[in-house]
Amino acid sequence: MRAIHTLILVAAMTTLATAQAPAPIAKVELSVRNAPSTGLLIPPGDPVFRYLGAVVQPFGDAFPRKNFVNTHLMITSKNNEPPYSVEFQVRGSEFEIVELGNKGKIRISVNGAPITEVLQATPPDGGIYLRKVQFRSAALRTIRLDVANYAFGGLRVMSGTTVTAPNTARQPRAMFVGDSYTEGGTGAAASFTAYPATVGRLMNWEVWNSGVGGTGYTRGGPSGRVRLSERLERDVIAHRPDIVLLAYGHNDSDPGSELDREARNVVRRLKVSLPATRIIMVGPFSEQTPPPAHIPLVRDILKSVADDEGLLWVDPIDWITGNKRTGSPGNAIDYIQDDYVHPTQKGHDYIGQRLAQEIRARW
């Protein structure tokens, strides 16, 4: 039997934002710090909540952090709090999300439609807040919270409102393992809009983003980050994904026997530990045409590994055309940032669509 809760809430509110969307959302309000409330709490560990995209655990040992969950240390890197999602169903006209003010970000979707495209920020002061979502009418709705660096404390609901677990089957768990292109940028929130999110939506996959900027098969990146083979067990194998997509190579600037050896080692370890998992190998992305000199060499080595190991291989080396730095005509003008290396949001959308097309054609 699915867990069902009917609870009561009274709270002081100040308006944060009002949004209109295809889903019947009236407004979202954020309470004052430590606003009083009544009624029972649906804690974050309750089975009505389905967590996606990462492993969650208590945010701390002492009050109030012990009453909240967040992601910690799933990815061996400086960015050790990867984004995650929470799904549940609500029948009623409103509910409140309990959150801790730790500069996290949240995007709320109802029946698949986001209330706002932009992630909303939580206060930075460490206080407890209630984020109230009000509908125009009472109905059964599926809710999804996409959050980053966010401490989730469960829900409070009005009398007569019920909260249940999602009634949909879990999607295949797809782990995207790569560098800054996969990570989406320097902030965890960017992972929600990086190319893996688009691939997941088009392929109907549950996306786990395990991108670590500056790293590769042979390169460990900045301090605190490691090459893939050193984090493979903890960050990938331990989470038993159904699909692993390897998207490395841009940072492997010294292609040769070490790259071949490291890539084969990773693939063979995945095959032994996850024999039922589908492995996709994506060649290095390039921010321009012609690509930097090392990129075709890396591509050729990785393609050889993919062919020998029987992997689904995708080569994106010519997806970005032109050169934004020099002004050479092509899509790089729109798809590459002013750092001349990383994709813009349009670039991420384009890469995700192209990658999903390539995968689907051979899936």
Residue 196 has pLDDT above 70, yes or no: yes
Mean local confidence (pLDDT), 193-205: 94
Assess contact for 206 and 170: CB atoms under 8 A.
yes
3-state helix, strand, coil in the chain (%, to 5): 25, 30, 45
Same structural domain for residues 226 and 107? no
| Single residue among 164, 182, 206 that ends a domain in this structure | 164
What is the rounded average pLDDT for all residues in the chain?
Answer: 88
Same structural domain for residues 83 and 214? no
Assess contact for 110 and 24: CB atoms under 8 A.
yes
Same structural domain for residues 155 and 201? no
What's the pLDDT at 94? Answer: 92
Same structural domain for residues 199 and 335? yes
Q: Print the domain residue range for 298.
A: 173-362
Mean local confidence (pLDDT), 291-313: 98
What's the pLDDT at 205? Answer: 97
Q: Can you give the CATH number for the domain in which 95 is found?
A: 2.60.120
What's the pLDDT at 12? Answer: 32
What's the pLDDT at 286? Answer: 97
Mean local confidence (pLDDT), 185-213: 85
Domain count along the chain: 2
Q: How far is CA 354 from CA 2, 33, 228, 363, in A?
A: 39, 45, 25, 14
Same structural domain for residues 157 and 177? no
Same structural domain for residues 110 and 241? no
What's the pLDDT at 73? Answer: 54
Q: Computed over its alpha carbons, how large is the radius of gyration of the chain?
A: 22
Give the tens place of pLDDT for each residue, 128-170: 999 999 999 999 999 999 998 899 999 999 889 999 999 999 9
Short-list 150, 142, 140, 2, CA closest to 69: 150
Same structural domain for residues 55 and 121? yes
Among 67-71, 73-77, 102-106, 129-133, the range scoring the smallest mean pLDDT is 73-77
What's the pLDDT at 40? Answer: 76
Give the tens place of pLDDT for each residue, 316-360: 999 999 999 999 999 999 999 999 999 999 999 999 999 999 999
**Per-residue DSSP letter, 44:** T
Give the tens place of pLDDT for each residue, 100-117: 999 888 999 999 888 877
Query: Against a cut of 0.75, is the pTM above it?
Result: yes
What's the pLDDT at 20? Answer: 38
Same structural domain for residues 185 and 334? yes
Q: Can you give the CATH number for the domain in which 333 is found?
A: 3.40.50.1110
Same structural domain for residues 154 and 203? no
Same structural domain for residues 122 and 210? no
